[in-house]
């Protein structure tokens, strides 16, 4: 089965910082990767799909890149509402989520 390794598991950042989260697949998944944001007590929200396509309504400070096994979610300038947990998910075969990255205030 395909494994997803997300890193870091947590990070501390300040408003305005550029934040990068990585997701590595154990085998080639082409571009079948999505990114989600989840805030405490809320459902996940789709940010990016097909590795780099921004979901409608998601601010342009969010971007995704990568292919085959290595993928990145970048927040170009962290905003107060971006403090949350972020998950990657592959859909090359049965869907699987990464372990999550918690972004909190430095």
Partner 1 sequence: VQLVESGGGLVQPGRSLRLSCVASGFTFDDYAMHWVRQAPGKGLEWVSGINWNSGTTGYADSVKGRFTLSRDNAKSSLFLQLNSLRPEDTAFYYCARGPYGVVTHFDYWGQGTLVTVSS
* Interacting residues with partner 1 (CB under 8 A): 32, 34, 36, 38, 43-46, 49, 55, 87, 89, 91-100
Instruction: State in angstroms the smallest separation of the CB of 7 from partner 1.
Output: 14
* Lookup: tokens for 75: 């927040």
> How many C-beta atoms lie closer than 10 Å to residue 82's C-beta?
19
**Distances in whole angstroms, Cα of residue 64 to Cα of each of 23, 33, 53, 61:** 11, 9, 7, 10
Which CB, 31 or 83, lies closer to partner 1? 31
> Between residues 42 and 106, which has the closer beta carbon with respect to partner 1?
42
In whole angstroms, how close is the CB of 78 to partner 1 at the nearest point?
Answer: 22
99 neighbors 59 (Cβ within 8 angstroms) = no
Structural element, H or E, at residue 99: none
Least Å distance between CB 33 and partner 1?
8
CB closer to partner 1 out of 13 and 58: 58
| Distance from C-alpha of 2 to C-alpha of 56, rounded to nearest angstrom | 28
Instruction: Give me 83's structure tokens.
Output: 């403090």
Least distance between partner 1 and beta carbon 65 (Å): 16
Smaller CB distance to partner 1: residue 75 or 98?
A: 98
């Amino acid at each position: 089965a395909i494994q997803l390794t997300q890193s870091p598991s947590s990070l501390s950042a300040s408003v305005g910082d550029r934040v990068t989260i990585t997701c590595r697949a154990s085998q080639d998944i082409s571009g079948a990767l999505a990114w989600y944001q989840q805030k405490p007590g809320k459902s996940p929200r789709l940010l990016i799909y097909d590795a780099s396509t921004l979901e409608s309504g998601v601010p342009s400070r969010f971007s995704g890149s990568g292919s085959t096994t290595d993928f990145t979610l970048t927040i170009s300038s962290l905003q107060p509402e971006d403090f949350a947990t972020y998950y990657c998910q592959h859909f090359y075969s049965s869907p699987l989520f990464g372990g999550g990255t918690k972004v909190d205030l430095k």
